[in-house]
Amino acid sequence: MRLAHRLDHIAPFQVMDILARARALEAQGRSIIHLEIGEPAEPTPAPVVAAGMAALAAGHLHYTTALGLPELREAIARHYHARHGVTVAPERVVVTPGSSGALLLALGALADAGGEVLMADPGYPCNRHFARFLDLVPRSLPVGPDSGFQLSAPLLEDHWSAKVQAVLLASPSNPTGTAVDRAGMAAIAELCRTRGAHLIVDEIYQELIYEPGYVTALALDDGAFVINSFSKYFHMTGWRLGWLVAPQWALDGLERLVQNIFLAPSTPAQYAALAAFAPQTLDILEARKEELRARRDYLVAALGALGFRVPVRPQGAFYVYADCTALGLDSQVLCAKLLDEAGVALTPGIDFGTHDAGSYVRLAYTVPLERLQEAVARMAACLGRG
């Protein structure tokens, strides 16, 4: 007996091996600083937890409608207006089981088997694996510091083929933390419109942009399919809740698909998420965002002193993608060395694609500043820069 061929293209995450090695070292009593995990260490904000507890107490535990609680879809739509000045009709918001669900839904609804989906290398590895799961052809275009590790309209044009059915952007990107600016996004949206391809934009780190000049794709293109999540900015990872904003014409098909493949998103998570937009929650989240910005500023500066190079200052998310060439080691070897000798876990570039992957590591600044400082001190000692 064998598994389906689509699995031949789905590689395990290298970071899982690193995590397993880190856990083994911890079991031996070693102290490990985890900079390999893309999950905020902070808890779900108290008002959100309280709303979840109230939903459980009230017995709000039956199925909701497939597209999600109407009041949550309205709250998300209001958020776009309040934060971004963008008008989104609530019926265009589809609540999904995590942004994973939103991405599966968007790719499944928009691209035929054999169709090509253009995306960036380096990029979030699940993106190409989702495409493979649906028998689409992910075409990962090499991007580097010159384009801010992002796709651009000229690059897409250079690689266009008649089989392209969708372009998948992530802004800000995992692993690079870099975002597509307004002009770049507008040009890509225009190209997709002209060529008749769908534009899918992963904006799960959209609320974690620390610089001006970056907008949601919905501000520029009503036809874009925009994915977002309650996991990152809203700190609701384990609840598994996200959303997709789609153009009006696609909603009927999306609803049919959601009814069949998900039935409905988690009910307690949806009730909890209603409190995610409350002013007292947003106060907590904005304070955490400031803390993240401070960590970024510290880490980018410190990495330079360690001999890494950060060719593009990340505008958002909680990642730094650092070039380790000057340290003289392949990034996988360097990650293994830093884990074993310094007790600092990083992710090698190979997890995010193949383009120049041996030259880069990803650091997730999801731990408090003092832990980051300790990690830097340990790496300095290990690398002889102490």
Site for a copy of itself in 147-176 (CB under 8 A): 165
Q: Tokens 């070292």 identify what position?
A: 25
Q: Which residue's CB is nearer to a copy of itself, number 141 or number 166?
A: 166
Residues 181-210 interacting with a copy of itself (rule: CB under 8 A): 196, 198
**Please, where are the H alpha helices in the chain?**
14-27, 46-58, 70-84, 98-110, 125-133, 153-159, 182-195, 251-261, 267-273, 279-306, 331-337, 369-382
Taking residues 103 to 142 in sequence order and writing x for each that binds a copy of itself by CB under 8 A, - otherwise, the string is -x---xxxxxx-x---------xx--xx--xxx-------
Among 168-176, 256-264, 339-347, 349-357, the segment contacting a copy of itself (CB under 8 A): 256-264
Binds a copy of itself (CB under 8 A): choice among 90, 145, 268, 311: 268
Binds a copy of itself (CB under 8 A): choice among 31, 87, 194, 259: 259
What is the Cα–Cα distance from 84 to 244, expressed in whole angstroms?
16
Answer yes or no: are the C-beta atoms of 14 and 347 closer than 8 Å: yes
What is the Cα–Cα distance from 135 to 129, expressed in whole angstroms?
10
Nearest distance, CB of residue 271 and a copy of itself, angstroms: 9
What is the Cα–Cα distance from 209 to 230, expressed in whole angstroms?
16
Q: How many residues bind a copy of itself (CB under 8 A)?
A: 71
Alpha carbon distances (Å) from 74 to 209, 245, 246: 24, 12, 14
Taking residues 215 to 254 in sequence order and writing x for each that binds a copy of itself by CB under 8 A, - otherwise, the string is --------x------------xxxxx------x-xx--x-
Q: Which residue's CB is nearer to a copy of itself, number 129 or number 293?
A: 129
Nearest distance, CB of residue 156 and a copy of itself, angstroms: 17
Binds a copy of itself (CB under 8 A): choice among 91, 267, 291, 337: 267
Q: Which residue's CB is nearer to a copy of itself, number 19 or number 306?
A: 19
Binds a copy of itself (CB under 8 A): choice among 263, 301, 305, 326: 263
Nearest distance, CB of residue 148 and a copy of itself, angstroms: 26
Binds a copy of itself (CB under 8 A): choice among 47, 68, 97, 172: 97
Instruction: Identify which of 199, 273, 271 has the alpha carbon closest to the alpha carbon of residue 236.
Output: 273
27 lies in the binding site for a copy of itself (CB under 8 A)? no
- Per-residue buried b or exposed e for 249-258, using 16+ beta carbons within 10 Å of the residue's own CB: ebbeebbebb
Residues 310-369 interacting with a copy of itself (rule: CB under 8 A): none
257 lies in the binding site for a copy of itself (CB under 8 A)? yes
Q: What is the DSSP string of 174-229?
A: TTT-----HHHHHHHHHHHHHHT-EEEEE-TTGGGB-SSS---GGGT-TT-EEEEE
What is the Cα–Cα distance from 178 to 200, expressed in whole angstroms?
17
